[in-house]
Amino acid sequence: MQNKHAIEALSALAQETRLGVFRLLVQAGPNGLAAGEIARALEVPPATLSFHLRELERAGLLLGRRQSRQIFYAAHYEGMRRLLDFLMQDCCAGHPEICGIGPTACRPTPSETESAT
């Protein structure tokens, strides 16, 4: 991931409604929720929600799919994983206990794993 893409994703999340949408969709799982359900859950007018959904989708954090007359949105887990990997790259000089994060956050890259075998 490039700095530009990380900044876009972080900027998209740096707003209360968009952060709420993303967290709600992470909880909803891969099937996501219909736009109307999201609007009701967060008490956001549909037009306002559409703007926020577009921003999150543009930043690579949401995926939308049309089913009949409804649009369902789901968290784009791979997009978030790429962002987290970018942020945690080379974390804590290989000592995750210093940072207080779980062991998987600083997992070795595939090339490191392959060279160890």
Quote the CA–CA distance of 20 and 31 in Å, as a whole number: 17
Q: What's this model's pTM, rounded to 2 decimal places?
A: 0.74
Domain ranges of the chain: 3-79
H-type helices in the chain, by residue range?
3-13, 16-28, 35-42, 46-58, 77-88, 96-99, 110-116
Instruction: Print pLDDT tens along the chain (117 aa).
Output: 788 898 999 999 999 999 999 999 999 999 999 999 999 999 999 989 999 999 999 999 999 999 889 999 999 998 988 888 888 777 777 666 676 655 444 444 444 344 344
Nearest-5° angle of CA 17, CA 46, CA 27? 50
Bridge partner list, 73: 33, 64
CATH fold label, 3-79: Arc Repressor Mutant, subunit A (1.10.10)
> In this predicted structure, what is the pLDDT of residue 81?
87
